[in-house]
Amino acid sequence: MLELQNALYIVPTPIGNMDDITFRACDVLKKADVICAEDTRHSLPLLESIGVKSPKLISFHDHNETEKADKITAIIEEGNSVALISDAGTPMVSDPGYHLVAACVNKGIMVYPLPGACAAITALCSSGMPSDRFSFEGFLPVKEKALHDKLRSLLEEERTMIFYEAPRRIFDTAKALGAVFGDRKVMVARELTKTFETKYYTTCNHLAEELEKDPNVQKGEMVIVLAPYRKKENDNAIPSDAKKLIDILSGELPPKKVCSLVAQMYDLRKNDLYDYLLNQSKTE
């Protein structure tokens, strides 16, 4: 029999298929003195379906998380167990919870995370992309300039990248991915674990075109998995003119400034130029 402690329990809930909730998650939710839910109306049917009767629910979402953190830690310190759930998936993965967990840690309250459903990991596993190293980038910016700036900042990210996206934003994001990443491989997963689960395997420059073929594409939350940057054989090729300019400027300016200026002029990677400069200094 599981005996809950005076602690915070992080409880993942299904991202679609209700059968994906774990035995342990059900047990914790049945025994917890208080359940913090992102949307109490959304969570109540799930709780009722697993036999949680008349749960003591506290609303806990992005807009009240900071102010509720002190109240919830006080509840735990009074001798109660508290379970934290989000609308779907694992709390704190683009969902509320960070401030509460930080408050618990700062006050010496134990935090017990349960393993369970997570859309980012579920999508990654079926993407066909390298999974030994990956970065979770959450939701992308809404405004066009901020969106393009963010994507450009990830051009040379050497890990597989995972994004969340809302249906109403997917076409704008698809076009931006095409403009920035060109023929880079990408996979979009829609309605994961649900009846109409769909995946689109293509390249960034064909993503918008591929999505437009599906009349149901703007139904359901989406996960985007983007292939990592892979250095091409000619990426390190530095033009002779650029090398000459580096040699000239290196006597007048700091190395990082030299590399930054030459990289802008010749559209080269600063790191490659810096490596060249370091090798030159070693041979002199």
pLDDT, tens digit, for every residue of 259-284? Answer: 989 988 887 888 888 888 877 765 55
Per-residue pLDDT tens for 190-233?
999 999 999 999 999 999 999 999 998 988 889 999 999 987 64
Closest-CA residue to 135 (of 147, 149, 153, 148) = 153
Distance CA 259, CA 242 (A): 10
Token digits of residue 65 = 């998380």
Residue bearing the bigger pLDDT, 45 or 232 = 45
pLDDT reading at 123 higher than 90: yes
pLDDT beyond 60 at 246: yes
DSSP secondary structure code for residue 81 in this structure: -
CA distance 187 to 227: 9
Residue with tokens 């999505």: 211
Mean residue pLDDT across the chain: 92
Confidence bin at 234 (pLDDT 50/70/90): very low
Share of the chain above pLDDT 70, in %: 96
Q: Which two tokens stand for residue 225?
A: 């998995």
Query: How do residues 147-201 score in pLDDT, each as one tens digit?
Result: 999 999 999 899 999 999 999 999 999 999 999 999 999 999 999 999 999 999 9
Give the whole-number percent of the chain exceeding pLDDT 90: 73
Neighbours of 220 (CB within 10 A): 17
Write phi, then psi, for 57 (nearest 5 degrees): -100, 140
Instruction: Read off the pTM.
Output: 0.80
51 SS3 class? coil
Q: Band of the pLDDT at 251, cuts 50, 70, 90?
A: confident
Mean pLDDT is highest, among 53-57, 95-99, 223-227, 280-284, for 223-227
Query: Does the pLDDT value for residue 235 go beyond 70?
Result: no
**Secondary structure (3-state) at 103:** helix
Which is it for the CA torsion 42, 44, 45, 50, positive or negative? Answer: positive
* Cβ(260)–Cβ(270) below 8 Å: yes
